[in-house]
Chain A
Amino acid sequence: MTVAYNKRSTEDPILRKLNLELNQEKAVIVGPNGSGKSTLFKAILGLAPISGGAVKLFGIDAMSERQDTRVSTNLAEVYRIAYVRVRDLVSIFAELKGGNPQETLGMFRDFELESILGKKVHELSTGQAKMFGNILAVCFSPKLILLDEPFDNVDNRRRRRFIEILRGLDVETVIITHEFNLLQRLGDWGLYSMLEGRLWGKFSVSQLDRLFITRGDMRDALGVMDTSLGKLSVTLDHGDIAVKTARSLNAVLGEV
């Protein structure tokens, strides 16, 4: 899949011939700011123009998808269907997704977020708005959940609680994050790295402690990334920079 927002950028697209196939698994995508992670989700959901290639969800071309309630996301823009209070948005999307609004409202109570139910989305704090999207993404029995930076601006207690929910769900889940310290809790999830519009992997979150990034093309590399910084090899147990010592891929690339 290639994604470019306009004709001028087709020579330098945001996503370049990206290939990703998930088969009933959970995965994390990490990458520095501006690498195209959020654009990937928007392209999957039909919110970004695909200039080449195709997206298939459960074997069906995503562009011809209609009324498929199996896919959900926490992207803020998909919940701006009406200028109403959070409680009303929950009711609207419960009806649209065929779910139970009371269960969703219960989750808001679990996260001690009842106070936001009477507010409009633009009145929420950044963290509250993020949790609003997170909760709606995991409710209503989805089969594929796409979470874009679900932990941004969320306090530690709610982060831990939300991770426990994600671990307990038996559905395909893809998370975009640059918070390496939180990945430790995700066990055997798949790990992909996005750099400059290209996706590299698949590695495993369980290998995170053993992953290194090294300049150059190493023979025993798990994968070699072709970037504007040159070739970067992802190696196991040895290398220039240990991924685990960095808070984010931005920091790793800065050191390399």
Chain B
Amino acid sequence: MIFWLFLYAFSFAQGVPKTQPALLEFSAFSYGSIALFSSSSLAISIAYSIYYASSSLVYSFRFTRLNLSSYIATLIGSSSALGIILSAIMIACTYIIIFSLKFGFNLAPANQLGAFGVSALAGVFMMTFALFLVLLVVNYAGLQNISLVTFILLILAFGLGLATVNSPLPTGLLYGSPYNAIQTLLYTTYSGLAAHAQLSDPTSAILQWQYMVASLIAWIVLLLGVDGLLLRRLKPRQAEEGRQI
């Protein structure tokens, strides 16, 4: 995360006009993008625990008091808490350490509480999506394909998260993509400005944050349902099965 913040501040900001409004928008965009990458990585590391504990979970769901609902609730609770902590660290780093110090402007986030809320939702979404991918691999694709989970999550974070900068995307994709929802909502909470369909084009349509929140929550609910079904069918695997060579 810190690496990406330095990269954005000292390299990617080269072409950004050195005015407070422009830099605030750039800071907000950076905050949203980096939060996407970071929360993806965090979710992967939590979801990977399924990979190592599949036999233990199969046993525990049958022969201990552990039930699916409480297990999923624990994962959601931990991912939302981590999302908030990550957000707090990122806001501090983005505002204090890097962007304000680098550019000499006060680039304070407009709505910290809103940012925390969106980060909590982002953490939960990333957790449920990473869990979905890991469960698909454990149950059906075989552990040799576990590295695909990391690849898919990061590719989507980079691709869908950065696609709206210069590319005019269809409205359905803009509102339907949870990655765009996270990026857009974090941009809005940090900058205090409405997000445009194409971030580099202020004349493009304004995105409604309410629909973004609804889209993100809908994705979370859908993934929770699917995760529950897949966990019910969890296959016990040996970690050795994940060997590539």
Interface residues of A (CB under 8 A from B): 42, 45-48, 62, 65-73, 75, 77-83, 93, 95-98
Starting from the known contacts A46-B59, A48-B236, A67-B67, 4 additional A-B residue pairs (CB-CB under 8 Å) come to A47-B58, A65-B63, A77-B56, A97-B64
In the bound complex, what is the Cα–Cα distance between A81 and B64 (angstroms)? 12
What B residues does A71 contact at CB under 8 A?
62-63
Q: Take A45-B62, A69-B65, A96-B66 as given contacts and tell me if A82 and B49 are in contact as well, using a CB distance cutoff of 8 Å.
A: yes
A118–chain B nearest beta-carbon distance, Å = 21
A42, A68, A70, A81: which contacts B57 (Cβ < 8 A)?
A81
Q: Give the size of the chain B interface in residues (CB under 8 angstroms).
A: 18
B55, B64, B66: which contacts A47 (Cβ < 8 A)?
B55
Q: Are B64 and A69 in contact (CB-based, < 8 A)?
A: yes
What A residues does B53 contact at CB under 8 A?
80-82
A68, A69, A80: which contacts B52 (Cβ < 8 A)?
A80
In the bound complex, what is the Cα–Cα distance between A81 and B61 (angstroms)? 11
Q: Are B64 and A93 in contact (CB-based, < 8 A)?
A: yes
B49, B52, B58, B60: which contacts A96 (Cβ < 8 A)?
B60
**Interface-centre pick from A42, A46, A71 (highest chain B CB count, 10 A):** A46
Q: Residues 73-97 of chain B: 1 if any A CB is under 8 Å from the residue's CB, otherwise 0?
A: 0000000000000000000000000
Q: Are B236 and A77 in contact (CB-based, < 8 A)?
A: yes
In the bound complex, what is the Cα–Cα distance between A247 and B132 (angstroms)? 50
Q: Residues 183-206 of chain B: 1 if any A CB is under 8 Å from the residue's CB, otherwise 0?
A: 000000000000000000000000
Q: Take A47-B236, A77-B236 as given contacts and tell me if A72 and B63 are in contact as well, using a CB distance cutoff of 8 Å.
A: yes
In the bound complex, what is the Cα–Cα distance between A88 and B128 (angstroms)? 26
Q: Which residue of B lies closest to A79 (CB)?
A: B56
Q: Are B55 and A67 in contact (CB-based, < 8 A)?
A: no
Q: Are B63 and A45 in contact (CB-based, < 8 A)?
A: yes
**Interface-centre pick from A70, A72, A77, A93 (highest chain B CB count, 10 A):** A77
Q: Are B63 and A68 in contact (CB-based, < 8 A)?
A: yes
Q: Take A47-B236, A66-B67, A67-B66 as given contacts and tell me if A78 and B55 are in contact as well, using a CB distance cutoff of 8 Å.
A: yes
In the bound complex, what is the Cα–Cα distance between A93 and B52 (angstroms)? 17
In the bound complex, what is the Cα–Cα distance between A83 and B45 (angstroms)? 12
Provide the main secondary structure of the chain A interface: loop
Q: Are B55 and A80 in contact (CB-based, < 8 A)?
A: yes
The A-contacting residues of B in range 23-80, CB under 8 angstroms, are 49, 52-53, 55-67
Q: Are B52 and A78 in contact (CB-based, < 8 A)?
A: no
Q: Which residue of B lies closest to A49 (CB)?
A: B235
Q: Are B62 and A68 in contact (CB-based, < 8 A)?
A: yes
27 A–B contacts from the bound complex (CB under 8 Å): A46-B62, A46-B236, A47-B236, A48-B236, A65-B62, A65-B63, A67-B64, A67-B66, A67-B67, A69-B65, A71-B62, A71-B63, A73-B59, A75-B59, A77-B55, A77-B56, A77-B236, A78-B55, A78-B59, A80-B52, A80-B53, A80-B55, A81-B53, A81-B56, A82-B53, A96-B64, A96-B65
In the bound complex, what is the Cα–Cα distance between A83 and B55 (angstroms)? 14
Q: Take A47-B236, A82-B49 as given contacts and tell me if A69 and B63 are in contact as well, using a CB distance cutoff of 8 Å.
A: yes
A46, A67, A73, A83: which contacts B58 (Cβ < 8 A)?
A46
What B residues does A96 contact at CB under 8 A?
60, 64-66
What A residues does B64 contact at CB under 8 A?
67, 69, 93, 96-97
In the bound complex, what is the Cα–Cα distance between A45 and B61 (angstroms)? 11
What B residues does A93 contact at CB under 8 A?
64
B153–chain A nearest beta-carbon distance, Å = 21
What B residues does A78 contact at CB under 8 A?
55-56, 59-60
What B residues does A83 contact at CB under 8 A?
49, 52
**Interface-centre pick from B49, B55, B67, B238 (highest chain A CB count, 10 A):** B55
Q: Which residue of A lies closest to B239 (CB)?
A: A80
Q: Are B65 and A98 in contact (CB-based, < 8 A)?
A: yes
Q: Are B60 and A81 in contact (CB-based, < 8 A)?
A: yes
What A residues does B63 contact at CB under 8 A?
45, 65, 67-72
What A residues does B52 contact at CB under 8 A?
80, 83
Q: Which residue of B lies closest to A80 (CB)?
A: B56
B69–chain A nearest beta-carbon distance, Å = 11
